[in-house]
Amino acid sequence: MNNLLSVLGLILFVNISALAATVNDNIVKSTKLFHSTAHSTTTYHVSGVDDGTYDILISPNEFDQLSHLSVSLKESGEQLPYTWLNGDSYVQPYNFKRLAVQLPPNTPQLTLVLSISLNNPSTPLPSQLTQDDLAYSLSFKTYTHVVTPYHTNEMRVKVRAPTSKIHRYGMTHDDSKTTKNGGSMVYGPWMDVAPYSIPTDHIEILYEAAGPRLKYEVSERSAQVSHWGNVVSFRDDIVVRNNGPSLKGQFTRLTHQAQTFLNVLPTNIATMLSVRLPALSEEVFFVDQIGNVTTSHYKQGDGHSSHSLLQLKPRYPLMGGWKYSFSIGWENSLRFAAKLARDGTTRLSIPFSSTPEDVAVDRHTTRIILPEGAQVHSVYVPFEVDVQYETTTSYLDTIGRNTVVLSKHNTSDAHNGDVTIVYSLSLFNALRKPLAVAAVAFALFSAATLLRRINTRI
């Protein structure tokens, strides 16, 4: 019994020593604020790692607003796997979430980069505006330093606002370690920060908004693959909402026209939306519930450009609290999206979304409709999504088309990466549609021939 207690005590001592051996030499957290989204990068310079894992704590506010998260090695850019764990007794009362990152073997010293995207991190002030109010502000709050389960020798927190018009940027109780340069603020350095040190102070930044605060309430993409047409046809159905301060009072077109003529439009009004499409996109259209919308401009990217630019102007200015439903569509050549492998399978790459940089999305769904008879082998998505399979029936179909449905809540431009699907299409299935059309045409011709030979006269 004494030997067993000795062994358990030794194991406990080794685990505590391993945890204590891990030290953060330096932590730098940089947050770039937009209007509807924010991107944060935290760099951990770590030494003394010997257990193969590193724990990261995520604050409750960031976890609720979290859109995308990735952890990588700064030296190589390698993406590291991670697992969400339940909070322990140190951080559980504060609702911090624990992230266990799996590290490469034999790396006692390394630099980790935590990248996260946040949706709706700022609160608009005031909550209502009249049509004559030209400006409004956004309030952003965060912790003064990074909470971590390890001892930290030095850390800093940096925040960059989209404008230099900052009304308030200090800490709640002490501004002695606050530096401001234009729209950039630096807090710290904080020296010798103990493990699990929960800050009693916080940062509150009040900055003037430089544009509307847009959000996609609904974003649905349909991508239909056609081998016979050699194209991939896209259609995005979107419901956009101006999530800024709501309009106080009545809207008058005369006031809006006067503000447009004098070039003094309020920053809370959305009159234009820019969307990046794949390069060499063709047959672009922009429609809403009424019909075709002609107030758009399309700049097609060439083979040397990474994208094409579609600028959309809604039928009416989008005031705070207003919505607008519309659809856009385009076509891309199949040779840019699909490659035939040696084993006869086809590797298809489709962009999951085309969300603008500063637009938050409540839920996005992408439906990839494969050719009739195609069999799906694998689906790869560079982030977590809900994957479902269904059958879509279109014109001249016989058995329907296999469709991959990908859905995700709380997305942003960080999810504009490609989805890769590997599928196979046999020769019979490739010829299924022309054979079916030929069979129907032959049957109709035969039926017409037989009917002409029947004598209906008495």
| pLDDT per position as a tens digit, 375-404 | 999 999 999 999 999 999 887 777 889 999
Task: Tell me what pLDDT residue 451 has.
Answer: 83
Task: Tell me what pLDDT residue 6 has.
Answer: 40
Q: Give the architecture (CATH level 2) of 22-208.
A: Sandwich (2.60)
More confident residue, 453 or 253: 253
Question: What confidence tens digit (pLDDT) does each residue in 265-289 have?
Answer: 999 999 999 999 988 899 999 999 8
Quote the CA–CA distance of 205 and 42 in Å, as a whole number: 19
Question: What confidence tens digit (pLDDT) does each residue in 226-251 have?
Answer: 998 899 999 999 999 999 999 998 89
Tokens of 170: 């200090």
Sheet strand arrangement including 151-160: 66-73, 109-119, 37-47, 23-33, 151-160, 184-193, 178-181
Residue 9 has pLDDT above 70, yes or no: no
Q: Which residue, chain included where needed, has tokens 């999530």?
A: 243
* Cβ-contact 401, 394 below 8 angstroms: yes
User: Residue ranges per domain, the chain?
Assistant: 22-208, 214-435
- Report the SS3 class of residue 192: strand
Quote the CA–CA distance of 388 and 106 in Å, as a whole number: 39
| Burial annotation 394-424 (CB, 10 A radius, 16+ → b, else e) | eeeeeeebbbbbbebebbbbbbbeebebbbe
The residue type at 142:
T
Bond from prior residue into 278 cis (ω within 30 degrees of 0): no
Please state the φ and ψ torsions of residue 19, each to the nearest 5 degrees.
-65, -40
The mean pLDDT of 357-372, rounded to a whole number, is 94
More confident residue, 91 or 446: 446
Task: Tell me what pLDDT residue 3 has.
Answer: 46
Quote the CA–CA distance of 332 and 36 in Å, as a whole number: 30
Residue 363 has pLDDT above 90, yes or no: yes
| Percentage, residues of the chain above pLDDT 70 | 92
Question: What confidence tens digit (pLDDT) does each residue in 154-209 have?
Answer: 999 999 999 899 999 988 766 778 889 999 999 989 999 999 998 888 899 999 99
More confident residue, 439 or 286: 286
Bond from prior residue into 108 cis (ω within 30 degrees of 0): no
Alpha helices in 273-431 (DSSP H): 334-337, 427-430
Question: What confidence tens digit (pLDDT) does each residue in 290-338 have?
Answer: 999 988 999 988 766 778 999 999 999 999 999 999 999 999 999 989 9
From the candidate CATH numbers 3.30.160.270, 3.30.465.10, 2.60.40.1730, 3.40.50.720, the one assigned to the domain spanning 214-435: 2.60.40.1730
Q: What is the mean pLDDT of the chain?
A: 88
Question: What confidence tens digit (pLDDT) does each residue in 58-99 have?
Answer: 998 999 999 999 999 998 889 999 999 876 666 776 788 899
Question: What confidence tens digit (pLDDT) does each residue in 343-359 have?
Answer: 889 999 999 999 998 89
pTM score: 0.85
Task: Tell me what pLDDT residue 15 has.
Answer: 43
Tokens of 138: 């956004």
The mean pLDDT of 110-118, rounded to a whole number, is 95
* Cβ-contact 385, 312 below 8 angstroms: no
Quote the CA–CA distance of 216 and 249 in Å, as a whole number: 25
| Percentage, residues of the chain above pLDDT 90 | 61
Could you tell me the end-to-end alpha-carbon distance of the chain, in angstroms, rounded to an integer? 111
Tell me whether the CATH fold assigned to 22-208 matches the one assigned to 214-435: yes
